[in-house]
Amino acid sequence: MDDVVVVGGGTGGTLAANVLASLLAREIDRGEASVTLYSDTAQHVFQPANLDIAFKGAEPQKYIRDERKLLDRRVKLINEGVDRVDLGNRRVYTETGRSQNYSYLIIATGSQADPSLVHGLAESAYNFHTGPWDAAKLWDALKKFERGKVVLAIAGVPHKCPPAPTEAMFLLDEYFRKRGIRDRVELTFLTPYPHAYPSKPIADVVEPLLEKRAVNVNTFFNLESVDSVKKKVYSLEGDEVEYDLLIAIPPHRGSKLAVKSEIGDRDGWIPADKHTMKVADYDEVFAIGDATSIPISKSGVVAHLQAGIVAQNIAAEIKGHDGHKRFNGRINCPLEVGGGRALFVVGTYERQPMPMKPTRVKYLMKKSFASIYWLMLSGRLEWLFNLYFREG
């Protein structure tokens, strides 16, 4: 019997489990295969909505669903976190002591935003990366803010959703303009990158827009610590910036499972082949999405595309065929610039993102994704996504 185990109930893990259940429906019904998903939470969060919660006051509960209801009936859901995996013996061990053998393993444990990794950050800064409820706390703080210095700092790389910090600056500007107090608020963006966006072609588009909106951009600012009493942030380069309200993109780390299982680096990132997502030396083990050290954006689109490819290749092998699909590094990340306009950061391993004019149509495309996300997780839209992203 072929037992497929998926660890992690985020975008990549949920989609992979559903695609496998669909492709292997006959084998599962015959008792020849199984798909088991381990998730340390019973809830599934649409993470891109954190921006709307933090800067537009959207209701967090609107973007949370019951994980069980998102899964194919053939997927066995176990609401337990996996403590470690034994790759040599093909076995996973949960935090409660449960264990299970696997024929194929997909690790989709994502990344964790961890403010504690920077001295003073956790007690000083608001953020929208640690979850929808923390994003809601930021919204509450913004509503009470009347004048002063608002600083948004990238406190470590890599981090989820590279466009999010730049997008947040545009949304902050728009929010204070709508309140009629933009002239009383100084906005400063602190980034370790040489530009306001990591990719220069995209930076060439957004930097003039930020300048037009009087947003201060401090590049090469590697945040070292925060003093919550003096209300100052300090960089490794010796610079300091004052704030009245601090928003931070916390440093991120990989899964503790990867460290404990000795399959990741000291920060928990798992090395994997950038085309097949196979973990080194193990043809039956895959790592996808934010969990990997693959040099690509940590974004939902990447997790989605990698999950679909891995699921299809595993199903092909179980059916006795050679899996041939490969990930070409496609990214397709939206970046809202205010005024009901957005652009998309589009590229592959071989093609860097190109400049793109922000438009209303792209903004509406971005907004529509919140509605189709839940259906997308079922795997029933894979034909459409494969066509759009031209994966093959």
* Domains of the chain, residue spans: 2-111+254-326, 115-252
φ, ψ for residue 148, nearest 5 deg? 130, -160
**pLDDT tier at 347, thresholds 50, 70, 90:** very high
Quick one: average pLDDT of 355-365?
96
User: Global pTM?
Assistant: 0.95
In tens, the pLDDT along 94-105 reads 999 999 999 999
- Does 87 score more than 50 pLDDT? yes
In tens, the pLDDT along 192-241 reads 999 999 999 999 999 999 999 999 999 999 999 999 999 999 999 999 99
> Does 158 sit behind a cis peptide bond, omega within 30 degrees of 0 on the bond before it?
yes
Question: Is 2-111+254-326 CATH 1.25.50.10?
Answer: no
What percentage of the chain reaches a pLDDT higher than 70? Answer: 99
- Does 312 score more than 50 pLDDT? yes
User: Which pLDDT score is estimated for 388?
Assistant: 76
- Does 392 score more than 90 pLDDT? no
Q: Are the CB atoms for 5 and 104 separated by under 8 Å?
A: yes
The closest alpha carbon to 291, from 265, 310, 311, 309, belongs to 265
Q: Can you give the three-state secondary structure of the chain, one letter per residue?
A: CEEEEEECCCHHHHHHHHHHHHHCHHHHHCCCEEEEEECCCCEEECHHHHHHHHHHCCCHHHHEEEHHHHCCCCEEEECCCEEEEECCCCEEEECCCCEEECCEEEECCCCEECHHHCECCCCCCECCCCCHHHHHHHHHHHHHCCCEEEEEEECCCCCECCHHHHHHHHHHHHHHHHHCCHHHEEEEEECCCCCCCCCHHHHHHHHHHHHHCCEEEECCCCEEEEECCCCEEEECCCCEEECCEEEEECCEECCHHHHHCCCCCCCCCECECCCCCEECCCCCEEECHHHECCCCCECHHHHHHHHHHHHHHHHHHHCCCCCCCCCCCCEEEEEEEECCEEEEEEECCCCCCCCCCCEHHHHHHHHHHHHHHHHHCCCCCHHHHHHHHCCC
In tens, the pLDDT along 275-311 reads 999 998 899 999 999 999 999 999 999 999 999 999 9
Mean pLDDT, rounded, of the chain: 96
In tens, the pLDDT along 41-55 reads 999 999 999 999 999
HSE, CB side, 13 Å, CA atoms: give it for residue 367.
13
- Does 390 score more than 70 pLDDT? no
The closest alpha carbon to 370, from 36, 150, 84, 56, belongs to 56
Q: Are the CB atoms for 330 and 305 separated by under 8 Å?
A: yes
User: Which pLDDT score is estimated for 391?
Assistant: 45
**pLDDT tier at 344, thresholds 50, 70, 90:** very high
Same fold: 2-111+254-326 with 115-252: yes
User: Which pLDDT score is estimated for 309?
Assistant: 96
User: Which pLDDT score is estimated for 386?
Assistant: 80
In tens, the pLDDT along 324-342 reads 899 999 999 999 999 999 9
Quote the CA–CA distance of 127 and 135 in Å, as a whole number: 6
Residue environment code for 209-240, b if the CB has 16+ CB neighbours within 10 A, otherwise e: bbeebebebbeebbbbbbeeeebbbbbeeeee
- Per-residue CA distances from 194 to 31, 96, 128, 344 (Å): 55, 46, 23, 20
Quote the CA–CA distance of 52 and 139 in Å, as a whole number: 9
Q: Between these two residues, 316 and 370, which has the higher pLDDT value? A: 316
The C-alpha angle with vertex 298 and arms to 297 and 301, in degrees rounded to 5, equals 85
What percentage of the chain reaches a pLDDT higher than 90? Answer: 95
* CATH fold for the domain made of 115-252: FAD/NAD(P)-binding domain (3.50.50)
Quick one: average pLDDT of 361-379?
94
- Does 180 score more than 80 pLDDT? yes
Max distance between CA atoms of the chain, in angstroms, equals 68
Residue environment code for 33-57, b if the CB has 16+ CB neighbours within 10 A, otherwise e: bbbbbbbbeeebbbbbbbbbbbbee
In tens, the pLDDT along 254-279 reads 999 999 999 999 999 999 999 999 99
**pLDDT tier at 155, thresholds 50, 70, 90:** very high
